[in-house]
Homo-oligomer: A and B are copies of this chain.
Amino acid sequence: MAKPAGSAIEPTIAERSSARDVARLAGVSTATVSRALNLPASVDPDTLSRVKAAIEKLRYVPHGAARALRSRKSDMFGAVVPSFDYALYARTTSALQREADARGYALVLAAHHYDLAIELRVTQQMVQHGVDAFVFVGLDHDPALFSLLDSYGRPYVLTWGVDASGIHPSIGFDNRAATYAMTRHLLDLGHRHFGLISAPTTGNDRSRERGAGVRAALAAAGLSLVDDDVRYGPIALESGTRAMRELLAKRDRPTAVLATNDVFAVGAMLACRDAGVRVPDDVSITGVDDTDLGATQTPGLTSIRTPIVEIGRAAALQLAARLEGRPVNLLQELPFELVRRASTAPPASRRRRR
């Protein structure tokens, strides 16, 4: 049954039965076979069952490319994400795939590693492969991306943010409000000196907005963020660790460090652990995304629960609806939630004073 391993060298794409074979066996025309598959109601029940039997017997699987060529649709969604290594996008994509599958759409996947030029390139390849509709992460994209999608009439939806201008269909939450709330939480605890660990902000509206949320909350409290207390790095534990090490080395170190995601925050916690700095006693640390990685640390990481799964699900629903001509809400703002755990507490100075 299974082919002997050696034969694989020959890339023989073997015989498959076509609609003609089915038609012949069932004693009908190919048009009827096609109708039996796509508009079964328009076929006589008797004929239908004969065709179905023939399909079964021949193990007929329609040729998607032929179908796509003629009917101008492939039933494929494309997901273009920054990276897959951060569990976050994997989970969103998982939800997206699940929901797409349930509606008969396959999912084509690509990553651009935070490079908008690569994003444009892989999207073009997907258009070429016939992908019907697209999901992108974030609001920042090469203008050429939109003109490509536009000229090929491909629906798309941006995720993880809501396009305030309303130009682009988008599903996400208010990144700025999220970190604003988090900063507010730390201010309420009595913190006055803050550090920020952020992803690079070029081409990344999420991290830009998250930084803006922190600054806005501080400004509202008459405070501000010193440039030297802000550290940037690619999303990885080591970035958080390095950034925290640097912040800890300062004469005047922040009493609270906000990270724009849980990975940075956990990396920062590791740096504290290594340096013998206690969390939250000596320094409070917060993340965003509320991942297992953060939640399972000791102490548990205070974070923002973001609508990771909901975004994926809603994106699939929106695209399916649009392709099928059903009306949908093109702009969807989903809620987030601050999750308090043990990584945040009043600063030491404040506790003494009490």
Contact = CB atoms under 8 A, between A and B. Distances in A.
A12 interface: yes
A153 interface: yes
A325 B296 CA distance: 48
Query: Considering residues A2, A13, A94, A152, which has the most beta carbons from chain B within 10 angstroms of its beta carbon?
Result: A2
Interface string A1-26: 11111101111111110000000000
Contacts of A101: 110-111, 122
Interface residues of A, number: 86
How many subunits of this chain does the assembly comprise?
Answer: 2
Given A8-B169, A167-B2, A270-B296, A76 B108 contact: yes
B106 A129 contact: yes
A98 interface: yes
A225 interface: no
A10 B325 contact: yes
A224 to B, nearest CB: 32
B111 A109 contact: no
Given A61-B128, A293-B296, A13 B152 contact: yes
Given A14-B150, A266-B292, 7 more contacts: A5-B330, A14-B152, A64-B129, A65-B68, A93-B109, A101-B122, A107-B108
Given A109-B109, A147-B1, A237 B14 contact: no
Nearest to A5: B330
Nearest to A73: B13
A97 interface: yes
Interface of A: 1-6, 8-16, 59, 61-66, 68-69, 72-76, 83-85, 87, 90-91, 93-94, 97-98, 101, 106-111, 122, 124-130, 132, 143, 146-148, 150-155, 166-169, 237, 266, 269-270, 273, 292-293, 296-298, 322-325, 327, 330-331
A247 to B, nearest CB: 19
Given A128-B62, A151-B59, A237-B296, A72 B322 contact: no
A153 B91 contact: no
24 contacts: A1-B147, A2-B146, A2-B150, A8-B155, A11-B153, A13-B73, A13-B152, A14-B152, A59-B151, A61-B127, A61-B152, A64-B129, A76-B129, A84-B93, A84-B97, A90-B90, A90-B94, A101-B110, A101-B111, A106-B126, A107-B108, A108-B109, A270-B296, A293-B296
